[in-house]
């Protein structure tokens, strides 16, 4: 396994996500892995928040202007992210080493049904009139970029876990774009099929087809290298966009919904991962499935929610407060969730 760590029976060698050795210690593997799990997770989340703060600072200092965020979103979501997915699958997906790869979207469906049930239950504790915003922010998690950064920090950029993540989340964008309006009465304009059959889905299916047919060897190396360079921009740009959007919304801040924020944080950042862990203890899926599911339950909301809430006539200010505070608290709750997860699901 290629990862950010290598271990033997009595020692552990640690590396940064870039593969640079950090230190080597001769100590019991189990304790070292548990300790490094929480450290690496904390560092990964802190990195994401740091990039978001950079975006906030760039707009606050007028180095970057709000008008540029639209262009950066297109660059990140329509070009860089599909490139990242395509290259990751082409380079790391070997059908003979992934015999159950097609089951990953099915496990995602199991998680999604479970999350929908929890969302429906916990929406009832929100103040009447704010339940739509509470529910949509609770249900749609930042299921790609936070787990991507965390898995890279834990297992390394060349790990097969990155491919697992892309297969697991292959239909999430389609779900988001096709169902988010239901939280606001089900009324929507006609479907934008470019969002339903999106570029990430196309890139994933194309890369899988190429690997399954064995024609990947005919792709010139410089093409793969170029796409990889483009794909590496996706995560930093998206977090900078997030920070920039938070700055813009901060300029127009209104009522502070302190009580609703506390409810949301307890449910989203604490009860969701605990409920998911309980489900995992009952179902006992393979380790890589369990890891993906606990990550999905622990990460904060997807960053596109405020835009869609405003489009549907909801309270964007409230959703921004949910999202911002959940991001900050996740610096603590995600490492704690994974640390607890490690007690019941030892690294396989």
What count of other Cβ atoms lies within 10 Å of the Cβ of residue 229? 12
> Between vectors from CA 143 to CA 79 and to CA 276, what angle results, nearest 5°?
165
What number is the average pLDDT over the span 108-119? 96
Select, from the ranges 10-19, 36-45, 146-155, 266-275, the one with the highest average predicted confidence (pLDDT).
266-275
What number is the average pLDDT over the span 56-73? 89
Of the two residues 185 and 76, the one the predictor is more confident about is 76
The least confident of 22-26, 220-224, 241-245, 321-325 is 22-26
Task: Name the token pair of 329.
Answer: 């608290």
The least confident of 1-5, 70-74, 175-179, 272-276 is 1-5
Check whether 106 has a pLDDT greater than 80: yes
Residues 3, 347: Cα–Cα separation, whole Å: 13
Which pLDDT score, from 0 to 100, does residue 32 have?
A: 54
Which pLDDT score, from 0 to 100, does residue 4 have?
A: 44
What number is the average pLDDT over the span 252-260? 84
Domains by residue range for the chain, with CATH: 5-344 (1.20.1530)
Which pLDDT score, from 0 to 100, does residue 10 have?
A: 39
Task: Name the token pair of 309.
Answer: 């809430």
Which pLDDT score, from 0 to 100, does residue 25 have?
A: 36
Q: What are the start-end ranges of the E strands in 154-300?
A: none
Predicted confidence (pLDDT) per residue in 131-142, tens digit:
999 999 999 999
Check whether 8 has a pLDDT greater than 60: no
Which pLDDT score, from 0 to 100, does residue 246 have?
A: 81
Give the rounded distance of the alpha carbon of 21 from its chain centre. Answer: 26
Tell me the DSSP string of 7-51: E-SS-EEEE-TTS-EEEEE-S-HHHHHHHHHHHHHHHHHHHHHHH
Residue 192: pLDDT band by 50, 70, 90 thresholds?
A: low
Q: How many residues are recorded in the chain?
A: 348
Task: Classify 84 as helix, strand or coil.
Answer: helix
Predicted confidence (pLDDT) per residue in 202-231, tens digit:
999 999 999 999 898 899 999 999 999 999
Predicted confidence (pLDDT) per residue in 14-56, tens digit:
444 444 344 333 334 455 556 777 888 888 888 888 998 999 9
Residue with tokens 């889905």: 201
Non-local CB neighbours of 136 within 8 Å, separated by 6+ positions: 180, 183, 184, 305, 308, 309, 314, 319
Which pLDDT score, from 0 to 100, does residue 34 have?
A: 67
Strand partners, 24: 13
Residue 1: pLDDT band by 50, 70, 90 thresholds?
A: very low
What number is the average pLDDT over the span 121-132? 93
Residues 161, 5: Cα–Cα separation, whole Å: 14
Non-local CB neighbours of 93 within 8 Å, separated by 6+ positions: 101, 163, 207, 208, 211
pTM: 0.83
């Amino acid at each position: 396994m290629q990862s950010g760590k290598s271990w033997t029976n009595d020692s552990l060698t640690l590396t940064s996500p870039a593969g640079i050795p950090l230190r080597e210690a001769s100590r019991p593997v189990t304790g070292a892995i548990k300790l490094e799990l929480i450290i690496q997770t904390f560092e990964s989340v802190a990195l994401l928040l740091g990039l978001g703060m950079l975006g906030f600072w760039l707009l606050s200092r007028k180095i970057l202007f709000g008008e540029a965020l639209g262009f950066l979103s297109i660059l990140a979501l329509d070009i860089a992210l599909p490139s990242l997915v395509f290259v990751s699958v082409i380079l790391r997906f070997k059908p003979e080493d992934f015999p159950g790869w097609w089951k990953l979207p099915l496990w995602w469906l199991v998680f999604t049904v479970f999350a929908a049930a929890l969302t429906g239950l916990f929406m009832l504790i929100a103040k009447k009139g704010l339940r739509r915003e509470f529910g949509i922010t609770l249900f749609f998690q930042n299921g790609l970029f936070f787990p991507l950064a965390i898995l890279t920090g834990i297992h390394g950029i060349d790990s097969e876990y990155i491919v697992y993540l892309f297969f697991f989340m292959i239909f999430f964008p389609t779900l988001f774009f096709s169902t988010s309006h239901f939280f606001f009465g089900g009324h929507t304009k006609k479907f934008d099929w470019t969002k339903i059959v999106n570029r990430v889905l196309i890139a994933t299916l194309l890369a899988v087809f190429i690997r399954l047919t064995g024609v990947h060897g005919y792709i010139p190396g410089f093409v793969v290298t170029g796409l990889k360079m483009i794909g590496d921009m996706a995560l930093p740009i998206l977090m900078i966009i997030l920070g920039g959007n938070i700055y813009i919304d901060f300029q127009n801040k209104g009522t502070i919904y302190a009580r609703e924020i506390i409810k949301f944080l307890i449910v989203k950042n604490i009860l969701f991962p605990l409920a998911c862990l309980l489900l995992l203890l009952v179902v006992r899926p393979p380790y890589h499935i369990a890891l993906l599911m606990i990550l999905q339950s622990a990460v904060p909301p997807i960053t596109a929610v405020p835009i869609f809430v405003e489009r549907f006539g909801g309270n964007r200010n409230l959703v921004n407060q949910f999202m911002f505070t959940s991001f900050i608290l996740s610096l603590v709750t995600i490492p704690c969730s994974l640390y607890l997860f490690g007690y019941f699901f030892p690294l396989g």
